[in-house]
């Protein structure tokens, strides 16, 4: 199961693009509310989540996704339960994707120490211990970071390759006429 965590004020493209593309890869993708089950994004789009954070069982998790957006990123970071899930995923080698401002959560937790990462311009100082790489998507071990809404497809395909392999991701790329 791929868990896409949503908090009030999330960036819709950064959350829903991975949900869509990873489901096209035939993955079990769940939108997970960190608080209430109906979450409204930064641009007023409300989403009914599939589950709440207290229902997440780590042995069932194949990847986690942290969309950015404001104040969505700040609201994600307020969740102590989410921080435990992120730490556990990193320890278990489960892919952790963070896009836009969300890599700052990983930086604040000390999880980017010695890793390459990218984020939305202006958040570079929040990537404590990371080597900033100015690319749309940066993969370092099981950490996948990306710049922002405009890189949501590239980010989603990087996640797809990490979870289901390059062949499945390539098939979905072809099916949607992506490059």
> Given the structure tokens 């954070």, which residue do they identify?
53
CB neighbours of residue 71 within 10 Å: 15
Domains present along the chain, CATH in parentheses: 2-175 (3.40.50.880)
pTM, full prediction:
0.96
Name the pLDDT band for 177 (thresholds 50, 70, 90).
Answer: confident
Q: For Cα atoms 1, 158, 40, give the angle at the middle one, nearest 5 degrees.
A: 60
Q: For Cα atoms 168, 169, 171, give the angle at the middle one, nearest 5 degrees.
A: 65
Say how far apart CA 89 and CA 75 lie, in whole Å: 20
* Average confidence (pLDDT) over 140-166: 97
Percentage, residues of the chain above pLDDT 70: 99
Say how far apart CA 168 and CA 156 lie, in whole Å: 13
pLDDT of 154 > 80? The answer is yes
* Average confidence (pLDDT) over 134-145: 98
pLDDT one-digit tens code per residue, 114-125: 999 999 999 999
Name the pLDDT band for 158 (thresholds 50, 70, 90).
Answer: very high
- Say whether 65 sits in a helix, a strand or coil: strand
pLDDT of 178 > 90? The answer is no
pLDDT at res. 49: 98
pLDDT one-digit tens code per residue, 22-80: 999 999 999 999 999 999 999 999 999 999 999 999 999 999 999 999 999 999 999 99
pLDDT at res. 28: 98
Asked if residue 134 lies in contact with residue 151, where contact means CB atoms within 8 angstroms, the answer is no
pLDDT of 139 > 80? The answer is yes
78-116 as b/e, with b when 16 or more CB fall inside 10 Å? ebeebbebbeebbeeebbbbbbbbbbbbbbeeebbeebb
Percentage, residues of the chain above pLDDT 90: 98
């Amino acid at each position: 199961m791929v868990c896409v965590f949503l908090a009030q004020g999330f960036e819709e493209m950064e959350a829903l693009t991975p949900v869509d593309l990873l489901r096209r890869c035939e993955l079990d993708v769940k939108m997970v509310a960190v608080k209430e089950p109906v979450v409204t994004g930064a641009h007023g789009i409300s989403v009914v989540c599939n589950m709440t954070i207290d229902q997440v069982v780590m042995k069932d998790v194949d990847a986690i996704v942290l969309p950015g957006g404001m104040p969505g990123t700040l609201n994600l970071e307020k969740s102590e339960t989410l921080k435990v899930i992120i730490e556990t995923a990193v320890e278990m080698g489960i892919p952790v994707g963070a896009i836009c401002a969300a890599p700052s959560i990983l930086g604040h937790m000390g999880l980017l120490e010695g890793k390459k990462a990218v984020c939305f311009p202006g958040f570079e100082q929040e990537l404590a211990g990371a080597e900033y790489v100015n690319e749309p998507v940066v993969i370092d071990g099981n950490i996948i970071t990306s710049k922002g809404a405009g890189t949501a497809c590239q980010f989603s395909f990087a996640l797809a390759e990490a979870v289901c392999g390059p062949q499945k991701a390539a098939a979905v790329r072809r099916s949607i006429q992506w490059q």
